[in-house]
C-alpha cells in the first residue's frame, strides 16, 4: 500500500500562533494556527478525480483504500503533515472585515510529486478552527458537490483554478439555514480535499499590513515569491541590492495573472459570486467555489448570489473592475514595504492593459477571427447588444453561430434565427428591434469574416475549439445534488466524466446536460438562487 508523506513548508517557514487550544480568538504576529480536523463517525468516499490523483502520484489502489478514506475524511494525520488554518483578513462587499481566516478549511501540508512539483492539500468542511467565528467549520453535501465538480470543470476548460481530489460523505448531519431566513434544516455533511500550489490570498497580506507588522509582511512576501514565483525569485533574490526589482516583478506578475483569470471567467460566462479580497488567490487561481453560477441568458448585471441581489457588486459585468479594486487593496497593503509607489501603479496599469488586450482577443476567437483589428471593438459591442435584445444563451449562441454559413452572402434573418433558435429563451417572432440589430450585425460580421480568408469548416473548427459545448450549469449540478441527497451518485460520476471534454461535439448524445436552462430551474434554489451557506 502506498505511503503518503507530506511536508510542512508553510509551517516551517513562517511564525505560528503560540496558542495551541482550538477556540475563537484574534491571532496576531502569526500566519497560521495549529488546527486538527474533526473526526467523522462513518465516512464514505463518494468520488475522486483520477487526474488529480495522478498529479499527486496516487495509485488507484490507494485511492480506493481505507487509508485514503481515513486521511481525506480528516480521521488520520499523514506522516510529516502538520494540520493548520491560515490567518488572513479581507474586504467583504467593499468593507474591511478584519480578521477572517480559514474558518472551515484545514491545510494538511504539501506533497512533492515525482516531477518535483509541490502541491498543498486542504480539507474543506473538516471542523472548527480559531477562525471559525460563530460557525461550526463544517460543510454540507450540496456545496461540497458544487465545489468538487466545478473545480475540475474549470480546469478542463483551461481556467486557472484550485483542484479537487476527493469528495467524502461524513455520515453525519449539519444544521444549515440555506437562505438565512429562519428555515434551518439538517443536511448531510461532506468534506472536499482541495489541491493547489498554495492557498495564499490577498487577505493574508492585508491582515498583516493592517496590524502594522512590516517585518512579518516582508517575511510573507519573501516566502511567497521564493516558493510560488520561482522564476522571479531566481532572477533577483541572489542580488540583495535588487530587492526593489524583486518586489516589483512579483506584483506585476500577480496583476497579470489576475487579469488572465478574470478574462477566462468572462469568456466562459462564469460568475464567482463573492469576489471579496479573502477569496482572491495570490497565484491567480479560481478559489472558493461558493455562490457561483454560469450565465444562461446573457445579462451583464446577473449575479447568482442572493446576498448580492440588491447591490449586484459582484455581478458578471462588474468582475473585471472588482478584480482591479481588489488589486488596489492589495497594493495599499504592500505600500509600506514596497520600494516605490510607481511599481504598484504600473502593476495596476498592467492589469488594465492585459485584461483589455486578452478580452478582445478572446472575443475575436469566439466568433472565428484569427486576429483582432482596431475597428473590431464595435463589432464585439454590436454582438453583445444582439445578445441583450432578446434573452440569448451565452454558451449555446457561439456554438450555433459557428454553424451559420457565411461563405458567399449574409444569411437571411429567418435562416439565422432558425439556426440560433436553441439559444433563445423566448420567441423572436415579431421582435422588430431584434430583427434590425441581428441583420445589421450579421452583415458586418460577414464582411469581417470574409477578410479572414477562412472557409466554413476552418471557422467552425476554430470556434468550437474555444467555445465549449458543455459547461457545468447550476441546474445540471443541482440534478446531481438532488440525486446524491437520496443516495444516488450516478449523475455525479457521469458529470465528472463529461466535464473532461467540454469542447467535444460528441459528448452528451442524449443532450441531458448541454441544453439551455429548463423553465423549472429559472427560480429554483441551487440553480439561480444561491447563498454562502454551506
C-alpha cell at 49: 478525480
**DSSP label at 453?**
T
- Look at residue 237 and tell me whether its pLDDT is greater than 80: no
Instruction: Answer for the pair 15, 29: CB distance below 8 angstroms, yes or no.
Output: yes
CA distance 367 to 278: 35
- Please report how the helices 474-485 and 141-157 are oriented relative to each other, as an axis angle in degrees rounded to 10: 140
Give the number of other CB atoms < 10 A from CB of residue 104: 21
Neighbours of 191 (CB within 10 A): 26
Count CB neighbours of 520 within 10 A.
9
pLDDT band at 180 (very low <50, low <70, confident <90, very high): low
> To the nearest whole number, what is the mean pLDDT of the chain?
94
Distances (CA, A) of 398 to 102, 279, 393: 39, 30, 9
- pLDDT tens by residue, 204-235: 999 999 999 999 999 999 999 999 999 999 88
Measured distance CA(511)–CA(144) in Å, rounded:
25
Is the separation of the CB atoms in 343 and 244 below 8 Å? yes
Phi, psi of 386 (to 5 degrees): -60, -45
Q: Using 50, 70 and 90 to split pLDDT, how confident is the model at 522?
A: confident
Reading phi first (left if > 0) and then psi (alpha if -120 to 50, else beta), residue 15 is in beta
> What secondary structure, in 3-state letters, does 137-164 show?
CECEHHHHHHHHHHHHHHHHHCCCECEE
Residue spans per domain, the chain: 9-199, 222-365, 370-514
Number of other CB atoms surrounding residue 273 within 10 Å: 25
% of the chain exceeding 90 in pLDDT: 85
Strands 32-34, 118-124: pairing is unpaired
Is the confidence at residue 51, as pLDDT, over 90?
A: yes
Retrieve residue 222's grid coordinates: 519573501
Contact 98, 89 (CB under 8 A): yes
Residue labelled with grid coordinates 459545448:
469
Res 452: pLDDT = 84
Which ranges in 295-375 belong to alpha helices (H)? 319-334, 341-366
Any idea which residues carry the catalytic annotation?
Answer: 278
The lowest-confidence range among 10-14, 84-88, 243-247, 401-405 is 243-247
Distance, CA of 258 to CA of 1 (rounded, Å): 40
Q: Taking residues 232-260, what's their average pLDDT?
A: 87
Give the tens place of pLDDT for each residue, 88-126: 999 999 999 999 999 999 999 999 999 999 999 999 999
pLDDT value for 239: 60
Query: What would the pLDDT profile of 427-478 be if each residue is shown by its tens digit?
Result: 998 899 999 999 999 999 999 998 887 788 999 999 999 999 999 999 999 9
Q: Is 250 helix (H, G, I), strand (E, B) or coil?
A: helix
DSSP per residue, 10-51: HHHHSPBPS--S-------S-SEEE-PPPP-SS-EEEEE-HH
The gap from C-alpha 110 to its chain's centroid, in whole angstroms, comes to 21
Say what the pLDDT of residue 178 is. 73
Report the 10 Å Cβ neighbour count for 427.
10
**Other Cβ atoms closer than 10 A to 118:** 14
* Residue where the block lists cell 466554413: 456
Q: What integer pLDDT is reported at residue 42 of this predicted model?
A: 94
In the structure grid, which three cell numbers stand for residue 224, read together?
511567497
User: Exposed (0-12), middle (13-18) or buried (19+): which is 241, by Cβ within 10 Å?
Assistant: exposed
Question: What does the pLDDT average to over 318-347?
Answer: 96
Alpha carbons 23 and 132: distance in angstroms, whole number: 9
Return the pLDDT at 240: 54
Quote the pLDDT of residue 429. 87
Tell me which H or E stretch contains 108. Answer: strand 105-112
Quote the CA–CA distance of 26 and 315 in Å, as a whole number.
32
Note the pTM of the prediction, 2 decimals: 0.96
Amino acid at each position: 500500500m502506498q505511503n503518503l508523506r507530506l511536508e510542512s513548508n508553510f509551517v516551517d517557514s513562517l511564525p505560528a500562533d503560540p496558542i495551541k487550544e482550538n477556540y475563537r480568538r484574534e491571532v496576531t504576529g502569526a500566519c497560521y494556527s495549529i488546527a486538527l480536523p474533526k473526526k467523522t463517525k462513518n465516512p464514505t468516499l463518494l468520488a475522486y478525480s483520477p487526474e488529480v490523483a495522478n498529479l499527486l502520484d496516487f495509485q488507484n489502489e490507494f485511492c480506493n483504500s481505507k487509508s485514503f478514506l481515513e486521511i481525506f475524511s480528516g480521521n488520520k494525520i499523514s506522516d510529516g503533515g502538520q494540520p493548520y488554518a491560515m490567518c488572513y483578513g479581507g474586504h467583504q462587499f467593499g468593507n474591511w472585515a478584519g480578521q477572517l481566516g480559514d474558518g472551515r478549511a484545514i491545510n494538511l501540508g504539501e506533497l512533492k510529486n515525482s516531477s518535483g512539483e509541490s502541491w498543498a492539500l486542504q480539507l474543506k468542511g473538516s471542523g472548527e478552527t480559531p477562525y471559525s467565528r460563530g460557525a461550526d467549520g463544517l460543510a454540507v453535501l450540496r456545496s461540497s458537490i458544487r465545489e468538487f465538480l466545478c473545480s475540475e470543470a474549470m480546469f478542463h476548460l483551461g481556467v486557472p483554478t484550485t483542484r479537487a481530489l476527493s469528495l467524502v460523505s461524513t455520515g453525519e448531519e449539519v444544521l444549515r439555514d440555506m437562505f438565512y431566513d429562519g428555515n434551518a434544516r439538517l443536511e448531510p455533511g461532506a468534506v472536499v480535499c482541495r489541491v493547489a500550489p498554495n492557498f495564499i490570498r490577498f487577505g493574508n497580506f492585508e491582515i498583516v499590513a493592517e496590524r502594522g507588522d512590516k517585518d512579518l509582511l516582508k517575511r510573507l512576501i519573501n516566502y511567497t515569491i521564493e516558493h510560488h514565483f520561482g522564476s522571479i525569485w531566481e532572477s533577483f533574490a541572489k542580488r540583495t541590492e535588487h530587492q526593489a526589482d524583486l518586489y516589483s516583478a512579483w506584483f506585476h506578475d500577480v496583476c497579470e495573472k489576475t487579469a488572465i483569470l478574470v478574462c477566462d471567467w468572462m469568456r466562459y460566462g462564469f460568475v464567482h459570486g463573492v469576489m471579496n479580497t479573502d477569496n482572491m488567490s495570490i497565484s491567480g487561481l479560481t478559489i472558493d467555489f461558493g455562490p457561483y453560477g454560469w450565465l444562461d441568458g446573457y445579462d451583464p448585471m446577473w449575479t447568482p448570489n442572493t446576498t448580492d441581489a440588491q447591490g449586484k457588486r459582484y455581478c458578471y459585468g462588474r468582475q473585471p473592475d472588482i478584480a482591479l479594486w481588489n488589486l488596489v487593496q492589495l497594493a495599499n497593503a504592500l505600500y509600506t514595504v514596497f520600494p516605490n509607489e510607481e511599481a504598484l501603479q504600473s502593476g495596476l496599469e498592467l492589469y488594465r492593459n492585459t485584461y483589455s488586450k486578452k478580452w478582445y482577443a478572446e472575443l475575436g476567437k469566439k466568433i472565428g477571427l484569427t486576429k483582432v483589428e482596431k475597428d473590431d471593438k464595435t463589432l464585439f459591442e454590436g454582438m453583445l447588444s444582439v445578445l441583450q435584445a432578446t434573452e440569448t444563451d451565452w454558451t449555446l449562441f457561439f456554438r450555433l453561430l459557428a454553424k451559420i454559413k457565411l461563405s458567399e452572402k449574409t444569411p437571411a434573418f429567418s435562416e439565422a434565427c432558425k439556426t440560433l433558435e436553441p439559444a433563445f429563451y423566448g420567441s423572436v417572432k415579431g421582435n422588430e428591434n431584434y430583427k434590425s440589430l441581428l441583420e445589421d450585425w450579421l452583415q458586418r460580421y460577414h464582411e469581417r469574416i470574409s477578410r479572414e480568408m477562412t472557409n466554413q469548416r476552418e471557422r467552425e473548427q476554430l470556434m468550437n475549439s474555444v467555445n465549449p459545448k458543455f459547461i457545468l450549469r447550476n441546474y445540471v449540478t443541482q440534478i446531481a445534488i438532488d440525486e446524491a441527497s437520496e443516495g444516488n451518485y450516478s449523475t455525479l460520476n457521469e458529470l465528472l466524466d463529461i466535464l473532461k471534454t467540454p469542447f467535444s461535439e460528441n459528448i452528451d448524445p442524449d443532450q441531458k446536460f448541454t441544453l439551455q436552462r429548463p423553465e423549472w430551474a429559472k427560480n429554483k434554489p441551487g440553480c439561480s438562487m444561491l447563498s454562502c451557506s454551506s
